[in-house]
Amino acid sequence: MASAELQRLWKLCRIDTGLVEIRKRAAALDPGRQVMAELEELKKQDQEVGGRARKLSSELTDLELAQKGIDDKLKKIDKELYGGKVVNPREVENLEKEIAILKRHRGANDEKILELWETLPPAKEAAAKIDALIQEKQKQLVERKKAAMALKATLEAEFARLTQLRPEATKGIPPTLMARYDVIRQRNDGIGMTEVTKKQTCGNCGTVLPERTVQGLRDEKVISCEACHTILYLSEGVV
Ligand SMILES: [Zn+2]
């Protein structure tokens, strides 16, 4: 059984341990770093795959426009030839040459268009797949951020609650004991006191405690673990 002072210190220690735990959890809060990295990777892929689909698509549009231009020109020449305006044989010959050139162009364009009709759909499909993945990741990121914000709010509220309890919990603890506790917890990652386990080991470092230490604790003495210097607390019913 521990003295009333040690019991008070133990109560304070549980508040402090809670505060340490909250700080650790707040530091480890992840607003989706992994998801963000994956999203960046997908965006890079989209630049490549999506860029290719966009390039092919604009090539097709350009070719279709060119075909229309050629058709218009051919119609115009046709009109000139058969409208009775052009009678000079040399002029007729020139126009027929022009027709042949335009038709060759049109044929070449048609080949390219056919090729694009083959390559464009799978390119678009690949780009659409990456787009869908990007959207999915963006959704995940929003969710992750929301969850992190909610957890942050919970931790902050709990931190505020424990901080408020602290001044009251320090009352009745002798200044010398308090000073000793403060020094130890500053050295010990915020942990100044620990419970003796059922196996009579230090709850902080696991060192097996000598019988005289346990006896001293039974006698309500303030004793630290020889290995980690944490103040030991013997709760009722442990030994
Ligand atoms: Zn220890």
DSSP string, 126-182: HHHHHHHHHHHHHHHHHHHHHHHHHHHHHHHHHHHHHHHHHHHHHTT--HHHHHHHH
pLDDT at 239 over 60: no
Query: How crowded is the C-beta side of 182, counted as CA atoms within 13 Å?
Result: 8
Query: CATH for 31-169?
Result: 1.10.287
Q: Which residues lie near ion ligand 1 (Cβ < 5 Å)?
A: 202, 204-205, 207, 225, 227-228
What is the distance in A from the centroid of ligand 1 to the CA of 222?
A: 14
Q: How does residue 236 score in pLDDT terms, banded at 50, 70 and 90?
A: confident
Best CA proximity match to 137, nearest among 31, 30, 29, 42: 42
What is the distance in A from the centroid of ligand 1 to the CA of 19?
A: 20
Q: What are phi and psi of 173, to 5 degrees?
A: -95, 125
For the chain, what percent of residues have pLDDT higher than 90? 90
pLDDT at 238 over 80: no
What are 179's two structure tokens?
């000073």
What is the distance in A from the centroid of ligand 1 to the CA of 106?
A: 88
CB-based contacts of 151, cutoff 8 Å, min separation 6: 25, 29
Residue range 98-151, pLDDT digits in tens: 999 999 999 999 999 999 999 999 999 999 999 999 999 999 999 999 999 999
pLDDT, position 82? 85
pLDDT at 194 over 60: yes
**pTM for the structure as a whole:** 0.70
What is the distance in A from the centroid of ligand 1 to the CA of 140?
A: 43
What is the distance in A from the centroid of ligand 1 to the CA of 217?
A: 14
What are 31's two structure tokens?
């607003």
| Alpha carbon distance 131, 129 (integer Å) | 5
Give residue 229's identity as a one-letter amino acid code. H
Best CA proximity match to 191, nearest among 160, 238, 228, 220: 228
For 181-207, what is the mean pLDDT?
94
What is the distance in A from the centroid of ligand 1 to the CA of 42?
A: 49
Residue range 142-173, pLDDT digits in tens: 999 999 999 999 999 999 999 999 999 999 99
Q: In Å, how far from its chain's centre is CA 94? A: 68
| Alpha carbon distance 13, 233 (integer Å) | 10
Residue 201 is classified by DSSP as: B
Give residue 74's identity as a one-letter amino acid code. L
pLDDT, position 1? 57
Give residue 55's identity as a one-letter amino acid code. K
Q: How many of the other CB atoms lie within 10 Å of CB of 181?
A: 22
What are 144's two structure tokens?
């992750």
For 72-98, what is the mean pLDDT?
89
Q: Where are the domains of the chain?
A: 4-19+174-233, 31-169
Q: In Å, how far from its chain's centre is CA 55? A: 31
| Alpha carbon distance 141, 34 (integer Å) | 9
pLDDT, position 2? 76
